Amino acid sequence: MRGRPVVHVVEDDDAARESLAFLLGTAGLPVRTYNSAKPFLDALPDIEGGCVITDVKMPEIDGLELVNLLKRRHFALPVIVITGQADISLAVQAIKAGAVEFIEKPYESEVLLGAIRSALSAHGKDLPGESERAEIRTRIAALSAREHQVLDGLIAGEPNKGIARVLGISARTVEIYRAHVMAKMRAASLSQLVRMVLIADGMNDRTRQHDATAH
């Protein structure tokens, strides 16, 4: 019989790891910690349920590499990536690799706890259906031409200044269009926006099909 879902924290910084363990324990969430990706990977055969929180910058195997490794090993638990860098490109790479959320440090405790609860509740649910895909496509179709351009820039991992330079507008104007895109798409975060676009174009399904036939 399986026990309660465990939150697996992979973090090489002792203080950050202990702080996370304390926060999760206070919230009543079972937690297991690892000081690097290697001991976590070694423990995979015994891991059944829960989710994973990993830092990006770690020695030997960084957080993004860990997400990719878990994907290749068909490890199905949701992964939340945390980082001290406000790097849009890195966030997009993490989500495309399979992470469910990308959170920047310093973060509010409730933001992280909310992401964990969402990951735990969503785990095991059916893949996005055609009705959900159609709804997302309808939202994308409702974007203006300029909003489409900004969306494309965001999905490509470009920062606001990079998008502004390509489009010949100010970074402040990009921020305004970005806010419009988030509102029209009903996305609460960049991570959610990227996932929506992946669902709309079927990349999530194609990735799973590729992984299933590659072995």
One domain for residues 164 and 107: no
One domain for residues 41 and 112: yes
CATH code where residue 156 lies: 1.10.10.10
- Number of domains comprising the chain: 2
DSSP the chain: ---S-EEEEE-S-HHHHHHHHHHHHHTT--EEEESSHHHHHHHGGG--SEEEEEES--SSS-HHHHHHHHHHTT--S-EEEEESS--HHHHHHHHHHT-SEEEESS--HHHHHHHHHHHHHHTTPPPP-HHHHHHHHHHHHTS-HHHHHHHHHHHTT--HHHHHHHHTS-HHHHHHHHHHHHHHHT-SSHHHHHHHHHHHTTHHHHHHHHHHH--
Domain that holds residue 190: 130-213
One domain for residues 38 and 105: yes
pLDDT of the chain along its 215 residues, tens only? 356 789 999 999 999 999 999 999 999 999 999 999 999 999 998 888 889 999 988 988 999 999 999 988 888 889 999 987 666 778 788 888 888 888 888 888 998 999 898 888 866 555 556 788 889 999 999 999 999 999 999 988 888 999 999 999 999 999 999 999 999 999 988 878 888 888 887 654 433 333 433 33
One domain for residues 56 and 151: no
Residue 1 lies in a domain: no
One domain for residues 65 and 22: yes
- Domain final residue, candidates 63, 89, 122: 122
- Domain final residue, candidates 122, 142, 167: 122
